[in-house]
């Protein structure tokens, strides 16, 4: 079963392919996604990696967390499965 990892402190120049290549050193990468600002199109400086197994995810965390990549020291940990909140934080039921 794939395990999702949070990757923070990304350089704004980092690409999803670059991230995929970095994490592929530790096993199979099911997906690599950098989060972008919808309005500006610029990277928000974080993303997510899905590794093929728990063991590969643990190896990736150990191998990449704190490592410098594209001039930035990356932060990697297991992604939390939190439900996404409404953009405005009001649960979507505001009276306009």
d(CA 22, CA 61): 12
What is the domain range of residue 42? Answer: 3-78
What is the tens place of the pLDDT at every residue in 40-86? 999 999 999 999 999 999 999 999 999 999 999 999 999 987 665 55
10: tokens are 């990304």
Closest CA to 32 of 42, 44, 46: 46
d(CA 10, CA 25): 18
Given a cut of 70, whether residue 89 has pLDDT beyond it is no
The CATH number of whichever domain residue 54 belongs to comes to 3.30.70.330
Mean pLDDT rounded to a whole number for the chain = 89
Q: Give the model's pLDDT for residue 65.
A: 98
Q: Look up residue 24 and give its DSSP letter.
A: G
User: What is the per-residue pLDDT across 10-46, written as a single tens digit (0 to 9) for each?
Assistant: 999 999 999 999 999 999 999 999 999 999 999 999 9
Instruction: For residue 49, tell me if it sits in a domain.
Output: yes
Q: Is residue 85 part of a domain?
A: no
pTM: 0.82
Task: Please state the domain count of the chain.
Answer: 1
Asked, for residue 63, whether it belongs to a domain, the answer is yes
């Amino acid at each position: 079963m794939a395990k999702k990892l949070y990757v923070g402190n990304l350089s704004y120049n980092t690409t999803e392919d670059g991230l995929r290549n970095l994490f592929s050193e530790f096993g199979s990468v099911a997906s690599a996604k950098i989060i972008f600002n919808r309005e500006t199109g610029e990277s928000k400086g974080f993303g997510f990696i899905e590794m093929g197994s728990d063991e590969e995810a643990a190896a990736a965390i150990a191998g990449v967390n704190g490592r410098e990549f594209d001039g930035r020291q990356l932060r990697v940990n297991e992604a939390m499965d939190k439900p996404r909140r409404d953009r405005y934080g009001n649960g979507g039921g505001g009276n306009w």
